[in-house]
Amino acid sequence: EVQLVESGGGLVQPGGSLRLSCAASGFTFSSYDMTWVRQAPGMGLEWVSSITRGGNTYYGDSVKGRFAISRDNSENTLHLEMNSLRAEDTALYYCAKIVYIGGSQLFDYWGQGTLVTVSS
């Protein structure tokens, strides 16, 4: 059974940093691209960042230059390093597994999320 468990969220002051982790199990982690999607309280979904199995990275415009996605295939863990945090980064952060079906890039399994609150 595929499981994705996020951790590392919490309360941080504006300008601060936080590192999120996503522990993966139930599939061959190193063979799959992975992604982070966030959801501000009461709002919609926003794609944050993706990393390919080969280590190529992609970022949304709102986090580019401040966030860094990485993966540790030996530990089956996905990370999101978040710097220069702003109030608008407050959200529930989901990690998700990416699957390609006929060329479609799809998020087929999701974790339950970890909450990041940026406030003084």
Partner 1 sequence: EIVMAQSPATLSVSPGERATLSCRASQSVSDNLAWYQQKPGRAPRLLIHGASTRATGVPARFSGSGSETEFTLTISSLQSEDFAVYYCQQYNNWPLTFGGGTKVEIK
Cα–Cα distance for residue pair 54/111, rounded to 1 Å = 22
Minimum CB distance to partner 1 smaller for 46 or for 81: 46
Angstrom distances, CA of residue 4 to CA of 22, 27, 67, 96, 119? 6, 10, 20, 7, 27
Instruction: Supply the minimum distance, in Å, between the C-beta of residue 50 and partner 1.
Output: 7
Instruction: Supply the minimum distance, in Å, between the C-beta of residue 74 and partner 1.
Output: 26
Instruction: Supply the minimum distance, in Å, between the C-beta of residue 22 and partner 1.
Output: 12
Minimum CB distance to partner 1 smaller for 27 or for 47: 47
Minimum CB distance to partner 1 smaller for 13 or for 25: 25
Cα–Cα distance for residue pair 68/111, rounded to 1 Å = 19
Cα–Cα distance for residue pair 52/27, rounded to 1 Å = 15
Minimum CB distance to partner 1 smaller for 13 or for 52: 52
**Which one, of 96, 98, 99, lies nearest residue 114 by Cα?**
96
Instruction: Supply the minimum distance, in Å, between the C-beta of residue 45 and partner 1.
Output: 4
Buried-state track 14-31, b at ≥16 Cβ within 10 A, e below 16: eeeebebbbbbeebebee
Residues in contact with partner 1 by the rule CB under 8 A: 37, 44-47, 50, 58-61, 94, 96, 101-108, 110-113
